[in-house]
Amino acid sequence: MTALATNIHAASSTPASPTHPSVVFETSQGNFTVELYPEKAPKTVANFLQYVKDGFYENTIFHRVINRFMIQGGGFERDLTEKNTRAPIVNESNNGLLNELGTIAMARTADPDSATAQFFVNLADNQFLNYTSPDPESIGYCVFGKVTSGLEVVQKIGLVQTTFVGRNADVPVKAITIKSVKLLSDTAK
């Protein structure tokens, strides 16, 4: 291969790196940073960032914690009152991103297109949550980002003692508060 052909081949096989927004979660257990992937899940990232910009996540809790599985938050206040949300979004789980350790995905009901504000961070490689087909039973959960800093904080949250509160299982005995979620570019302000 000539030098020119080598350079053309190298340039064509290296895609341009898109800019990924990042958010910082400030929690009662410490901070962690998540990089978001709008090119893979555009509607999901836009939805999540709108909740961030609205301050929706301030003083919500991680209301469901299962060690070696995931931590879920973004929808309940300390007293387990569910917050009002905007309309649900379409499930973008068929985007090539997998529910692996440290990834963030949208929580939803049995209806694949029911995600609103709640999210979860995977504490393990949860392959059974991945997209396998468009069938509602196999559509999976949409991954839209990954923890890039502070994974130890997420794992520490996963270790907290949990209990039942009313109909809610796996609720931390001592509330784990999300004090704020901010765009990284906004944290310098």
The three-state DSSP-derived secondary structure of 103-166 is EEEECCCCCCCCCCCCEEEECCCCHHHCCCCCCCCCCCCCEEEEEEECHHHHHHHHCCCEEEEC
pLDDT per residue over 62-99, tens digit each? Answer: 999 999 999 999 999 999 999 999 999 999 999 999 99
Strands 103-106 and 143-149: antiparallel
Q: Which domains does the chain have, with CATH numbers?
A: 19-184 (2.40.100.10)
3-state secondary structure of 71: strand
The pTM of this model reads 0.89
Give the integer Cα–Cα distance in Å for 136 and 66.
24
pLDDT per residue over 32-68, tens digit each? Answer: 999 999 999 999 999 999 999 999 999 999 999 999 9
